[in-house]
Amino acid sequence: MKIAFFSAHKYDRSSFEIVKGDATDLEFTFLEPTLNEKTAPLAAGHEGVCIFVNDDASAKALEILKQQGVKFIALRCAGYNNVDLNKAKELGLVVVSVPAYSPDAVAEFAVGMILTLSRKYHKAYPRVRDGNFLLDGLLGKNIKGKTVGLIGTGRIGLCAGKILAHGFGATVIAYDPYPAKDAAQYGITYVQELDELLARSDIISIHCPLLESTKHIINEQTIAKMKQGVILVNTSRGGLIDTAALIKGLKEGKFGAVGMDVYEKESDYFFQDSSDKVIQDDQLSRLLSFHTVFISGHQAFFTEEALHGIAETTLGNLRALSKGEECKNIVKG
């Protein structure tokens, strides 16, 4: 099977080629452009395409892929909100994903972001590099004894909860329409309503998928129900937060700090070097201007272990499909 990788970076090539080894059943073509209706023709002659979080597998792009002979769409990530699943089904395209590769990677990053915001590591580092050893403006807060609210308790949310509850001594509460049966052993207690979590939490960390039901789950109304000075962290999907409402809350001083590894319009900038350009996205520029906001470039998943797991599962998915075998990671929508 020939597979075209869109949004391919050096680390993608390395991890997939290492896992593939000397096997000859799969042939890779690594492409730097993201997938969209303009770049879809690059998949000509390939049975499968492998895409990432910011590739655009909308209806038009899928139609073009089908015309090029593509049969399989392999997501090298857990989320699939960037794929028109109804159109894929109509066209007979099989979509597979990587539902779990290294939940610890994202969970640890989320906790690290909470620590950074609580203890202001990101402010201390450049200051000391410049020879300034004053502590003014670096006063932090303990995590121990604080109430941390988790929105979503899939594998990543459970891992984050365990670290925060058992490692830091935080009181961890969570909201999820589908509670995990073993959440208590992770030190997590569920609340019945999201409003209760918003009202009680000193720190809120988002760990849910981006669906129609969760889009802009953080909005002007939900922000109003949060504690004054709350810390908000999002390492899941940018579209979970209404950026305009977030900016309004920041301007009004609602948040003690905000950490974002994702942004709802990130596809124009993330995974690219724009250091010599003017950022045209006014909302992103505004967020970067707040001293209480810490933004990273969709880095939470990025560990050696996670990349290896992604490659293993993705290639396993594609091999099963090529042989006509059952694949447990088919996305049905």
Mean pLDDT in order along the chain per 10 residues (333 residues): 96 96 94 96 97 96 97 94 95 94 93 98 96 97 98 97 98 97 97 98 96 96 98 97 98 98 94 92 96 96 95 96 93 82
Domain identity same for 141 and 94: no
- Asked if residue 192 is part of any domain, the answer here is yes
Q: Is 32 a catalytic residue?
A: no
CATH number for 311:
3.40.50.720
Identify the H or E element spanning 148: strand 147-151
Domain identity same for 89 and 112: no
CA atoms within 13 A on the CB side of 98: 24
The pLDDT of residue 102: 84
Q: Is 13 a catalytic residue?
A: no
The pLDDT of residue 122: 95
Catalytic residue among 264, 298, 305, 308: 298
Domain identity same for 95 and 238: no
- Asked if residue 332 is part of any domain, the answer here is no
Catalytic residue among 166, 266, 291, 319: 266
Joined together, the tokens standing for residue 283 give: 């909302």
The pLDDT of residue 101: 79
The pLDDT of residue 79: 87
Using an 8 Å Cβ cutoff, are 187 and 165 in contact?
yes
The pLDDT of residue 332: 85
Domain identity same for 128 and 57: no
Please give the tally of structural domains in the chain.
2
- Asked if residue 112 is part of any domain, the answer here is yes
- Asked if residue 147 is part of any domain, the answer here is yes
Domain identity same for 87 and 109: no
Domain identity same for 108 and 242: yes
Alpha-helical (H) ranges within the chain are: 10-20, 59-67, 85-91, 103-119, 121-129, 155-162, 194-200, 220-224, 243-251, 282-289, 304-322
Domain that holds residue 122: 103-295
Catalytic residue among 46, 47, 237, 264: 237
The pLDDT of residue 333: 67
b/e for 45-56, b at 16 or more Cβ within 10 A?
Answer: ebbbbbbbbbbb
Domain identity same for 95 and 108: no
- Asked if residue 328 is part of any domain, the answer here is no
DSSP 122: H
Q: Is 298 a catalytic residue?
A: yes
Domain identity same for 61 and 151: no
- The pTM score is 0.92
